[in-house]
């Protein structure tokens, strides 16, 4: 509820917050998925850097806020139930477990990219050793 106001929130504010939060979530999920796909394809380009920067930025914000999205308190101010994940348009079970499965996907993406970088480095090393003989 708005400070200094005795009127109940109309719901429009909460709807707008949920919409913005959902769009941000979809952008982050797309970035994570792109990192997994490019890790599988051993692709490294500007799009990978951009996706990694988005995920790193979101992770930093989440960690800095002690595991709470900054939009959650705002949603609660406008009528969302405390402790709920009603600030996003997703089924409750999916929304509550986002840090778990999204974190696992990020770990997979990091492992895939590390594996690709290791293979590339190994390939370059073997190639330079062949050229020296």
pLDDT grade for 75, boundaries at 50, 70 and 90: confident
Residue with the bigger pLDDT between 5 and 123: it is 123
pLDDT of res. 107: 97
Q: What are phi and psi of 87, to 5 degrees?
A: -100, 20
Buried b (16+ CB within 10 A) or exposed e, 50-83: ebbebbeebeeebeeeeeebebbebbbebbbeee
3-class SS letters over 36-58: HHHHHCCCCCHHHHHHHHHHHHH
pLDDT digits (tens, 9 = 90+) for 102-127: 999 999 999 999 999 999 888 888 77
pLDDT grade for 6, boundaries at 50, 70 and 90: very low
Asked if 121 and 48 count as a contact pair (C-beta separation under 8 A), the reply is no
Cα torsion through 44, 33, 41, 54, rounded to 10: 0
User: What number of other Cβ atoms are within 10 A of residue 34's Cβ?
Assistant: 19
């Amino acid at each position: 509820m708005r400070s200094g106001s005795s009127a109940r929130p109309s719901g429009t504010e909460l709807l707008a917050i949920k919409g913005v939060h959902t769009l941000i979530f979809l952008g982050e999920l797309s970035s994570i998925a792109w990192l997994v796909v490019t890790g599988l394809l051993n692709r490294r380009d500007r799009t990978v850097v951009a996706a990694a920067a988005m995920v790193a930025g979101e992770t930093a914000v989440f960690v800095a806020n002690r595991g709470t999205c900054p939009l959650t308190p705002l949603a609660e101010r406008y009528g969302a139930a405390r402790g709920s994940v009603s600030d996003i348009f997703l089924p409750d079970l999916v929304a509550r477990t986002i840090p778990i499965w999204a974190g696992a996907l990020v770990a997979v993406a990091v492992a895939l990219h590390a594996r690709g970088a290791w293979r590339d480095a190994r390939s370059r090393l073997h190639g330079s050793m062949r050229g020296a003989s």
